[in-house]
Structure 1
Amino acid sequence: MKKQSRRSFLGAGTILSVAGALAALPLLGSAFKKPKGNFVHHVYFWLHNPDSEADKAKLIEGLQTLKKIKEIRLARIGQPASTNRDVIERGYAVSWLLFFDNLDEQEVYQKHPIHLKFVENYSHLWSKVIVYDSVDV
């Protein structure tokens, strides 16, 4: 076996490291891609009984049913985070964040029988709803 100098050993290791990093670039790039969909629909719910964990759980149960609507590209159910700054609104109980490909698909969602049934079955739980719709710039 040929004896290898420290310099050639380190050079070979560097080349292999760079080759490995280059091979991983496509995977890394996909981690930074924007979410699918360019229409964002964010809904905030205030409950009639804000201290009722049962009402909150019931609302979340209802929101879960909406995930069956195929036009939704990404859906997230949230609650206020523990952050505490003057600009943060923490009065809501549950948030519902949706991504759609476009306004047309969001309008299909609004008229979808599952969505209409959700409003019919769960609207008695909330006292206030605020919606923020936005599009990519």
Structure 2
Amino acid sequence: MQHKNKRAHTRRRFIKNAAVLAASPAMIGQHPAAPRQQVIHHVFFWLKNPDAEADKKELIAGLKTLKAVPQVRQLLIGTPASTVKREVVDNSFQVSELMYFNSTKDQDDYQVHPLHKAFVEKCSHLWERVVVYDMITDSTV
């Protein structure tokens, strides 16, 4: 009988501890499943000399410096993928960058940050066209 009571006590302790652990994020106001909005900044570059590999490398090197801007949560840099050609796919650009920010304020601060201004000043001679898509994620999805 003592063995059964010990097992029941252990089981009750486990359930109590599990309940405390499950409730703790809510108690501190940060539920792990709570949706979080973010701002995504996607920029496409068309080079003045689209076949100049040196220009592409210089632009990519310049883009990499933007990772040091504190508001930039994540930076991805790439070139067009060799995916199946479809009418809805535009892969006419040479370089693209994708940035993640925590808020529109962070994205606004990034725009006036000295490193961003230096990048534009140093690299703008390389491109003939830039298209920007800014998006705030929908926290209800």
Q: Which consecutive unaligned segments of at least 5 residues does structure 1 have?
A: 1-32
Residue of structure 1 in register with 2:55 after alignment:
55
Residue of structure 2 in register with 1:40 after alignment:
40
Number of aligned positions between the proteins: 103
Residue of structure 2 in register with 1:67 after alignment:
67
Residue of structure 1 in register with 2:24 after alignment:
none
Distance 1:87 1:107, change over 3 A: same
The answer on 1:90 being equivalent to 2:91 is yes
Distance 1:50 1:109, change over 3 A: same
Residue of structure 1 in register with 2:110 after alignment:
109
| Per-residue deviation, residues 2-44 of structure 1 (Å, max 9, x unmatched) | xxxxxxxxxxxxxxxxxxxxxxxxxxxxxxx9xx861000000
Over aligned residue pairs, what C-alpha RMSD do you find? 1.3
Counterpart contact for 2:37–2:136, Cα < 8 Å: no
> Post-superposition, which runs of at least 4 consecutive aligned residues in structure 1 deviate over 2 A?
none
CA distance in 1, matches of 2:72, 2:129: 23
- Percent identical pairs in the alignment equals 49
Aligned amino acid, residue 91 of structure 2: R
Q: Which consecutive unaligned segments of at least 5 residues does structure 2 have?
A: 1-32
Residue of structure 2 in register with 1:28 after alignment:
none
Residue of structure 2 in register with 1:127 after alignment:
128
Aligned amino acid, residue 108 of structure 2: E
Aligned amino acid, residue 66 of structure 1: L
Aligned amino acid, residue 42 of structure 1: H
CA distance in 1, matches of 2:44, 2:132: 6
Tell me the TM-score normalised to structure 2 length.
0.71
CA distance in 1, matches of 2:64, 2:122: 13
Give the 3-state SS of the residue equivalent to 1:57 in structure 2. helix
Tell me the TM-score normalised to structure 1 length.
0.73
Residue of structure 1 in register with 2:78 after alignment:
78
TM superposition shift of 1:103: 0.2
| Per-residue deviation, residues 40-86 of structure 1 (Å, max 9, x unmatched) | 00000000000000000000000011110011111100110001211
